[in-house]
Structure 1
Amino acid sequence: MSDWQWHTWPGGVPESASHPYPYAQYPTPDGADWLASSSAFPRSVRALWSARPTAPSVLPCGTAFDAVNLPALFGRRVLEHLWSAGPGSGPAATLRGRLLLLAEPGTAARLPSLLTWEEWGPAVPPVLCHGAGDSVALPPPYSDTGHGRSRWLVAPDTRRPWLPGADVLLWACVRAARAEAG
């Protein structure tokens, strides 16, 4: 993996680290600004990160992003389908044995009904959607990989990252369910 694909913070990335997706492992300063912009008090969020750079963050959904929370194995399959069949994913992280995909605002309201309409039933495991009025815990923006419990798989790297909508995530879930069933 070339150096331009890694954005490291103090402490660096271990030499043995491998990354299956072509994006930064840590949020860039622009990506961290975008994450902070989801809060009504972005300066307070950045101050917290300055004081406790390795602490996970709890950020509100519904303005800058929604979050789709998937079981780890199924989530990895969805993420693989997003990257192999296109169009890629927005920021994605693992946290407490689950995979969080950040999606465009409004996705949390639409995706559950689209999955129900597709009638995939038990083939698609429970998908938790977090939208307006919800908050999610996200990995710390500036930590090393030693925590293991939470980390960025695809970190935000711009002030306006591309985020998948409900339609894109629906078909990624359907493709992952078909692959699992087949």
Structure 2
Amino acid sequence: MDIWTYQSVEYVTVAGESWLASASEYPRSMRALWESRPWAPAVLPCGKVFDVISLPAVFGRKVLDELWSSGPGCGPVASYRGRTLLFVQPGAAARLRTLLAWEEWARDVPPLLCHGQGDAVTVPPVQRMVDAPDSPGLGAGRWIVAPDTREPWLPGAAVVLWACVRAARGRTGDRTVRV
């Protein structure tokens, strides 16, 4: 299954919007902002509701393909300024940093940006503008898999590491895990 073809959901549902807003210190204000400007990106803190792993775009596609073809899938994913933003469990960013520090894996996986407690990320708008540019890396970003539930399943650090190592080593489709 190819996430880019079959799993892409570019709009945020009302339940998904509630989940995103719950990351904010002021969820009602965030929802009011989105109601008045649904095409505007927002900055949300990490660590409470989600962490975010930012991957180079091409590598991010390989990781997502691995998560969907051989793994458990994933929750929300966005594209912003040439990077793939993978939403993960709170605490997973710090754990992934630690796991990637092991020399065995670090040589295969390109540098990732792990945003956790104390960090904030820019998320794409909850709705796309009708005349928005479709080119990746331009504008306010876009949802590859938009939040569509109040409690989306988010992968943990071990799942993301597994997908990163397999993607880096070109093992997509090989179902044996060698982590």
Q: TM-score, normalised by structure 2?
A: 0.86
> Alpha carbon RMSD of aligned pairs, Å?
1.7
List runs of 5+ in structure 1 lacking aligned partners. Answer: 1-17
Relative to structure 1, is the Cα distance of residues 19 and 120 closer, same or farther in structure 2, using a 3 angstrom cutoff?
Answer: closer
AA aligned opposite 2:133: H
Tell me if structure 2 keeps the 8 A contact 1:57–1:140: yes
Cα deviation, 1:22-49, whole Å, max 9, x if unaligned, reads 2522111000000000011001101111
Alpha-carbon offset, residue 51 of structure 1: 1.6
Q: Percent identity?
A: 60
Which runs of structure 1 show a deviation greater than 3 angstroms over 4 or more consecutive aligned residues? none
Correspondence 1:1-182 to 2 at 5 A: 19-22=4-7, 24-117=9-102, 119-144=104-129, 146-148=132-134, 149=138, 150-179=141-170
Alpha-carbon offset, residue 76 of structure 1: 0.6
- Whole-Å Cα distance in 2 between the matches of residues 155 and 118 of structure 1? 34
Q: How many residues align?
A: 163
Tell me if structure 2 keeps the 8 A contact 1:92–1:100: yes
- Whole-Å Cα distance in 2 between the matches of residues 25 and 51 of structure 1? 19
- 1:14 — aligned with what? none
- Whole-Å Cα distance in 1 between the matches of residues 144 and 29 of structure 2? 25
Q: TM-score, normalised by structure 1?
A: 0.84
Cα deviation, 1:106-146, whole Å, max 9, x if unaligned, reads 01110011122262334211100001111000100011472
- Whole-Å Cα distance in 2 between the matches of residues 59 and 142 of structure 1? 16
Alpha-carbon offset, residue 19 of structure 1: 4.8
Tell me if structure 2 keeps the 8 A contact 1:67–1:103: yes
List runs of 5+ in structure 2 lacking aligned partners. Answer: 172-179
